Copies of this chain bind each other. A is one copy, B any other.
Amino acid sequence: MITPPLPLPALAVDALVRAALAEDLGRAGDVTTDAIVGRAAHATAHLAARQAGVVAGLDLAEAAFRVLDPDVVVERACADGDRVAAGTTLATVRGRAHALLSAERTALNLVGHLSGVATATRRLVDLVAGTRARVVDTRKTTPGLRAAEKYAVRCGGGWNHRFGLDDAVLIKDNHLTVAGGITEAVRRVRAVAGHTVVVEVEVEDLAGVEEALACGVGALLLDNMPPDLLAEAVRLVDGRAVTEASGTITEATIAAVAASGVDLISVGWITHSAPALDVGLDVVVERPALD
């Protein structure tokens, strides 16, 4: 049994979809459709993947149609997280033709973008199968879409790093410079951060690993280390902290990184640079019914 990914909260689905529709409809609405398609006409549309990939965002697509036609009927042919072949129907939508056509681009932009993130994630996840390494995201997300993109990462089999600056501590090089070192930086954080705040420190060499472990931090960000140094660091840590590798991870290099035994491999480009999955809407219009 596969655990379904944690869902995107319903309030976020609603807010995102309404904002996206408003952005596309502007002040005057869909002039083309409103001029051509009668308000009473109905149609059926198939949401389909034009490329192979992993699906994410079907709730958002459905919501886009439903906002413009509350009576729309949507039948899902697959679920978020499913791998699909090119040509796969994802869902069938029946409702007012004008709503289907006016919401089409909004629905496709959302599903295409998030499925792109899920697909890129899944590719990396597959490449590290059999190791203990999990693929995790970063805060390098598209402004306004962080929760949605992190949901898409989950759909692709990846895991989420922190959602923002406020829900975990990550002490980076600049912080270390200010504090004057790992020990002092961790001390300052410990003086104010509560028990639900995991503390992670960026380290660049084994001395840093040792110092951070001595502070009892929860996780180590092993930045830009080659695989053999990573492996050494993992041995040194010996389970006393979560180990995270980061820095220019590609499809070509991720397997070697994973082989080092790290717990996590964080990758920024699965959210900021994943190409959209090509998803389309095939509208079946029966002329007499439609107009």
Contacts and interface: CB of A to CB of B under 8 A. Distances in A.
Interface of A: 3, 5-12, 16, 18-37, 39, 41, 67-68, 97, 101-102, 105-106, 108-110, 112-113, 116, 136, 139-147, 150, 154, 159-172, 174-175, 177-180, 185, 188-189, 191-198, 200, 218-219, 242, 244, 263-264, 269, 272-276, 283, 285, 287, 290-291
For this chain, the copies found in one complex come to 6
A46 to B, nearest CB: 12
B34 A7 contact: yes
Contacts of A269: 275-276
Interface of A is mostly: mixed
A5 B287 CA distance: 22
B11 A192 contact: no
B147 A27 contact: yes
Interface centre among A23, A145, A179, A244 (most CB of B within 10 A): A23
B20 A161 contact: no
A217 B170 CA distance: 21
B198 A196 contact: yes
Contacts of A174: 101, 283, 285
Contact of A195 (B116, B165, B178, B242): B242
A29 B16 contact: no
Given A20-B144, A144-B23, A5 B109 contact: no
Interface centre among A110, A113, A154 (most CB of B within 10 A): A113
B31 A169 contact: yes
Given A32-B189, A35-B6, A143 B178 contact: no
Interface centre among A35, A101, A273, A287 (most CB of B within 10 A): A35
Contacts of A171: 32, 36
A285 to B, nearest CB: 5
Contacts of A264: 195
A24 B171 CA distance: 16
A21 B29 contact: no
Contacts of A287: 177-178, 180
A290 to B, nearest CB: 5
B166 A167 contact: yes
